[in-house]
Amino acid sequence: MLSKSELRKEVARKINEIEDRPERNKLLLEKFKNYISTRNELLNGYVLSYMPLPDEPDISGLHGLFNRLALPLIVGDGVMQARAVRDLSGDLVEGSYGILEPGRDTGVVEPSEISLIIVPGRAFTEEGARLGRGKGFYDRYLKRTSAIKIALAYREQIYPGIITEDNDVAMDIVLYV
């Protein structure tokens, strides 16, 4: 089994080698839409999503589907908050790690107000184990909410065994193409 560091490097290499990413992104968005169409209750609260980095599936096309969208904001050392986003073009600024994130003047969304979280990750198992980027922002946040956690990934990110620790939070659903 690969170490976490080795697995992160291998996944990054595999993602960079994907030649049909735009088509696969469309398929992934359709797979999510089909899933959510049978689970409308997941849209009753806020949906916490994220702005994808260049080496992640482009899920930004989903953001317009949600009446109540929240995106993460890093507010301190290891601290992530969910912030309400009403205008994707006006509410976002370049923030930590070069990621577009809500401005500091956006409203805080409490973990109890969130019904669904779309969680980024470097690798996943089909059963829901997740390997993040190693900073622990999401694992710490996910422990504070009972929202359904879903990962949207490329098949190159799916591995049969991922080293997990007590502080790692599993996904409820992993959809991949």
Percent pLDDT > 90 in the chain is 81
Class of domain 4-176: alpha beta
What pairs with residue 81 in β-bridges? 73
pLDDT value, residue 76: 81
Q: With H, G, I as helix, E, B as strand and everything else as coil, classify residue 70.
A: strand
- Mean per-residue pLDDT, 76-80: 84
Q: Would the pLDDT of 1 be above 90?
A: no
pLDDT at 2 exceeding the cut of 90: no
DSSP string, 88-119: TTTSEEE-GGG-EEE-TTSPEE-GGGEEEEE-
- Dump the DSSP string for 118-138: E---SEE-TTS-EE--SS-HH
* DSSP code at position 172: S
pLDDT tens digits for range 29-53:
999 999 999 998 898 999 999 999 9
Mean pLDDT for the chain overall: 94
CA atoms within 13 A on the CB side of 39: 13
| CB neighbourhood size of 75 (10 A) | 15
Judging by DSSP bridges, how do beta strands 123-124 and 130-131 pair with one another? antiparallel
**Domain boundaries in the chain?**
4-176
Q: Which one has a higher pLDDT value, 120 or 75? A: 120
Q: Is the pLDDT of residue 96 over 80?
A: no
Residues 67, 151: Cα–Cα separation, whole Å: 20
* Average pLDDT estimate for 126-143: 94
Residue whose structure tokens are 């969208």: 69
